[in-house]
Structure 1
Amino acid sequence: MIYVKNASNKLVLVAINKWGKKGGTGYFNINPGLVEGWDRTDGRGFVMSIIREGEAEPKPYFVLSNSNIVIHDKDITGYGRDVEDSDHWIYPLK
């Protein structure tokens, strides 16, 4: 499972690709303080796309199937570590 929590003060839209036939790949609205989960279990990893309220361009990230992502107002963390940390399992793709 991939869990995404919106710890920011604005709505975020999140989409995660899939390798199998089950599950949706469209954007889900996540309101502040809420968590959404995606049933993704493939070992190849996934592309997670995030659009913050007020931003036009999506931001893609590579994440693994056991990810717990927290979206803050100015950054995104996984297991308490900043996604810019290149020694971790969530990477910006742009």
Structure 2
Amino acid sequence: MVALWNTAYVGLVESMFAESTSDGSVDFSRLAAGYAVVGQAWRLLAADLAVPLWARHACAVAAEEFERRAHVEFSRVGGGGL
């Protein structure tokens, strides 16, 4: 699951970097999808019973934040959310 999270985060960072170096136009749908995938990876880690309770809680909080950010970015393109 950690490998899944790493892959998701790398994708998000790549999309953020691509947007920061572009011509000024931002592809919010790409950012939203990146945030959503990372949020989902955090959710999977939060559900892993092998992870200590405190760490699962931290993962759940992180998932909420990434899901919130995905919703914001989807709203910018008129998608309304997940």
Q: Is TM-score (shorter-chain normalized) higher than 0.5?
A: no
Which structure dedicates a bigger proportion of its chain to helix? 2
Which structure dedicates a bigger proportion of its chain to strand? 1
TM-score (norm 1): 0.26
The structure whose Rg is larger is: 2
